[in-house]
């Protein structure tokens, strides 16, 4: 962790130079950022694609101003791109032209290699961010205050990242109550493939397998007997389909690598069962029992 | 469901003929059954293997009498075998000799084909049961009141099952507040393989795969970023290792069948990712999103 951390220890805190923040996209993440910053007295300028979303964002009080015209970003010191991954990776020309050159620009995408590949050359003060927070909600009605409190905020700076821009994002994360981390973009993408994208596929495959049961009496019985264990294991496999597909499509290599490792692990367990090596299976389950708590400290 | 249901609709409720219940094993299930029945005024006779467990069961008030001598079961009208699967499937001779011939005998094992294979010929009034309830606890300190309330109680009678014995178990399930079901034993084992045993293996393989990560920076980052999605998907894979191994060893064919179906489902999803068929992947995730609620009615 903190492999690349240009913020030196003991350096005096720099003053927060941001007065006007643009937030592009008023969904769960954008809306929540806008809410928190508005409450802190910053001027927040929201930008949405459709007027109906802008109206809803205004009536929810997500930001002081919400517009559908990208030129509304012209006086912003900081712009947070909180769009879906697909839009973030194929930005519209009029958005690019509206981003002030001196502003710090960051995103909130859950993958970082592809985002950096696109944005590294699009804006000189771009910083790649992944605030890890969420609820079951989505869209303009989903934003809530305090969403980022105590949650990790990962940035993946590279050698071309402007250190003063990175410092602004570190302060932004601090203002939202997040736990600041920096990491290499490729390692970030591998880590989220393992703990976030792989579970979606693993869990979806469980639902798919159960749904493939061809004996209706077994299927009825399975429906009647499924309890909390099945509910928990299948939860993320029944999440937002577009999001699941986007994660896989924009983090393909890391997801395939994680899946290869998963398939190997599954085969080891299956082989122990096939061969009747019960002591070995029990040892494997003792090992997984020891591994899990390491991932629950958040 | 209710494929084999000798209890005719509209038949007048038979009087509860049981006064004295023996419970073999004072763990989570046995202790909870004993507690509920004791509170209902029945005479409950507990049997444990070790004197220290008997003492603890007595001091917890799980049953009026707790002994380590199987002959304590001699006057029981009903005996519930609440031992671990391993002991249930290889019953000790002195326990068998102590079971009164006229008593109704049932078990609480999570697999039913192997149990019936062993017990069908050991006692003329044996009824195979699987009360589906649990907590994270185990052992003599785990038993609680009301554990079975609203939970399924599956019996798997076959053509040799004594209908009057089955009726006693139906009444027992009713007294414990359970939702009564009957099913074919093989179908029961396939259903629990799908919704209970398969999730353990699927979830354990996820933990095992993440634990295999060889880049320490990725592993540290994965630990820092894992959140509720990973926690939920990995929960049952980190459960009681001996129980997980016992489920697989006593339900091997059904678990292998479920695993084959799972592997196939996983391959379909992996292939969509490998080929970049994102619309197909999204359709698959829409399908799993629709399947899950069918399994959450409990």
Taking CB atoms and an 8 Å cutoff, what residues of chain A touch B235? Answer: 229, 232-233, 292
Taking CB atoms and an 8 Å cutoff, what residues of chain A touch B288? Answer: 203-204, 207-208, 211, 234, 237-238
- pLDDT reported for residue A134: 83
Q: What is the pLDDT of residues B151-167, one digit of tens each?
A: 999 999 999 999 999 99
Taking CB atoms and an 8 Å cutoff, what residues of chain A touch B238? Answer: 288-289, 291-293
By DSSP bridging, strand B152-155 and strand B129-131 are antiparallel
Taking CB atoms and an 8 Å cutoff, what residues of chain B touch A225? Answer: 132, 152, 154, 191-192, 195-196, 298
Interchain contact, B281 vs A244, CB within 8 Å:
yes
* Chain A residue with the nearest C-alpha to that of B198: A206
- Inter-helix orientation angle B278-291/B252-274, to 10°: 140
Q: What is the pLDDT of residues B107-143, one digit of tens each?
A: 999 999 999 999 999 999 999 999 999 887 889 999 9
- pLDDT reported for residue A138: 87
In degrees rounded to 5, what are phi and psi of residue B153? -125, 105
Mean pLDDT of B265-281: 98
Where do the CATH 1.10.3660.10 domains begin and end in chain B? 188-295
Burial class of A5 by CB neighbour count within 10 A (0 to 12, 13 to 18, 19+): middle
Report the CATH number of the B20-183 domain. Answer: 3.40.50.720
Best probe of the B interface among A205, A258, A297, by most B CBs < 10 A, is: A205
Question: pTM (2 decimals)?
Answer: 0.90
Interchain contact, B291 vs A218, CB within 8 Å:
no
Where do the CATH 3.40.50.720 domains begin and end in chain A? 20-183
Q: How far is it between the farthest Cα atoms of chain A?
A: 69
CA–CA min distance B255, chain A (Å): 9
Q: What is the pLDDT of residues A175-206, one digit of tens each?
A: 999 999 999 999 999 999 999 999 999 999 99
Side-chain-side CA neighbours of A35 within 13 Å: the count stands at 20
- pLDDT reported for residue B2: 44
CA–CA min distance A55, chain B (Å): 30
Residue B5 has pLDDT above 80, yes or no: no
Looking at domain A188-295, its CATH class is mainly alpha
- pLDDT reported for residue B162: 97
Burial class of A84 by CB neighbour count within 10 A (0 to 12, 13 to 18, 19+): middle
Burial class of B298 by CB neighbour count within 10 A (0 to 12, 13 to 18, 19+): middle
Query: What b/e readout covers A52-66, taking b as 16+ CB neighbours within 10 angstroms?
Result: ebbebbbebebbeeb
Give me the interface pTM, i.e. the ipTM. Answer: 0.90
Interchain contact, A206 vs B262, CB within 8 Å:
yes
Interchain contact, B236 vs A236, CB within 8 Å:
no
CA dihedral B255→B260→B266→B269, nearest 10 degrees, is -140
Mean pLDDT of B2-27: 70
Residue corresponding to tokens 């690019």: A96
pLDDT class of B3 with cuts at 50, 70, 90: very low
């Amino acid at each position: 962790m903190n492999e690349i951390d240009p913020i030196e220890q003991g350096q005096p805190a720099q003053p927060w130079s941001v007065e006007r923040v643009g937030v592009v996209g008023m969904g769960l993440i954008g809306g929540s950022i806008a809410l928190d910053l508005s409450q802190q007295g910053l001027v927040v300028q929201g930008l949405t694609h459709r007027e109906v979303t802008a109206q809803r964002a205004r009536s929810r009080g997500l930001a002081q101003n919400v517009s559908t015209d990208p030129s509304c970003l012209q006086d912003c010191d900081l712009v947070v791109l909180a769009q879906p991954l697909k839009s973030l990776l194929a930005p519209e020309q009029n958005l690019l032209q509206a981003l002030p050159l001196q502003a710090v620009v960051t995103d909130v995408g859950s993958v970082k290699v592809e985002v950096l590949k696109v944005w590294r050359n699009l804006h000189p003060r771009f910083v790649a961010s992944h605030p890890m927070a969420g609820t079951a909600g989505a869209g303009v009605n989903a934003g809530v205050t305090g969403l980022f409190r105590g949650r990790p905020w990962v940035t993946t700076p590279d050698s071309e990242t402007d250190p003063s821009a990175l410092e602004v994002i570190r302060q932004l994360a601090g203002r939202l109550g997040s736990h600041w981390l920096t990491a290499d973009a490729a390692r970030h993408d591998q880590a989220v493939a393992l703990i976030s994208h792989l579970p979606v596929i693993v869990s979806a495959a469980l639902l798919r397998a159960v749904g493939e049961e061809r004996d209706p009496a077994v299927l009825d019985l399975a429906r009647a007997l499924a309890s909390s264990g099945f509910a928990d294991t299948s939860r993320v496999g029944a999440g937002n389909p577009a999001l699941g597909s986007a994660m896989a499509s924009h983090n393909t290599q890391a997801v395939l690598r994680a899946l290869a490792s998963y398939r190997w692990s599954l085969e080891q367990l299956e082989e122990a069962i096939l061969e009747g090596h019960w002591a070995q299976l029990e040892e494997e389950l003792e090992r997984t029992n020891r591994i899990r708590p390491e991932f629950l400290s958040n």
